[in-house]
Structure 1
Amino acid sequence: MYHAAALLAEGRPVTVLPDEEMLSTQAAADILNVSRQYLVRLVDNGELPAEKVGSHRRLRATDVAAFKAARDAKRSSALDRLTSLSEDVGGYELESKRR
């Protein structure tokens, strides 16, 4: 609960779902902000667990949240590395030298 409040204080969106909630592929795609087709590809490649209910795939909210957290951590780490590399080569100084 405190984590959600901290995120809201930062102006970031928060979704609250029961852990056992089963999501459709479209609902999971909306949470991850990806297309449903891309999400299905993630499921088919084994990157995101899902269960078949009849002919439909269903994903656990906890699995979707864990995937999102891991993806966001990777993105943040990659951005930090890119920023560091740019600083190392003076990338931010180049713009001011051209003017």
Structure 2
Amino acid sequence: MVTFVPYGAELTTNQAADLLNVSRPHLIKLLNDQEIDFHKVGSHRRVKSEDVLAYKRKRDTARSSALDRMQQLGQEADAA
């Protein structure tokens, strides 16, 4: 699936959670833990699309590195 997000767009928490493919409660935890910047409009949180995409890139890079390491360890175990 491809999602187009205008640069500089402000996303609702539902939109940001959908973009990251996580639940809204998990996104709220990320916001409260200051993993992703946000600001409030009244009582509603708003997240900049570029901040969500930056977090997604960082998360995906970490996941890829972990999978590469697991693959390397598996190959080393098979060779032993």
TM bucket by the smaller chain? over 0.9
SS at the partner of 2:65? Answer: helix
SS at the partner of 1:34? Answer: coil
2: CA distance, partners of 1:73 / 1:14: 19
Which residue among 31, 39, 48 is the counterpart of 2:36?
48
Q: What is the match of residue 8 of structure 2?
A: 20
Task: Please list every run of 5 or more consecutive structure 1 residues that lacks an aligned counterpart in the other structure.
Answer: 1-12, 92-99
Q: Share of identical aligned residues, percent?
A: 47
Task: Please list every run of 5 or more consecutive structure 2 residues that lacks an aligned counterpart in the other structure.
Answer: none
For residues 46-79 of structure 1, the C-alpha deviation after alignment (integer angstroms, 9 at most, x for no partner) is 0111010100000000011111011001000000
Q: How many residues align?
A: 79
Q: What is the match of residue 57 of structure 1?
A: 45
Which residue among 28, 32, 54 is the counterpart of 1:66?
54
For residues 7-60 of structure 1, the C-alpha deviation after alignment (integer angstroms, 9 at most, x for no partner) is xxxxxx332212210000010000101000000000001011101010000000
Over the residues paired in the alignment, what is the CA RMSD in angstroms?
1.1
- The letter for the 2-side match of 1:89 is A
1:75 aligns with 2:66: no
Q: What is the match of residue 5 of structure 1?
A: none
Higher relative contact order (CA 8 A, sep 6+): 2
Larger-gyration structure (1/2):
1
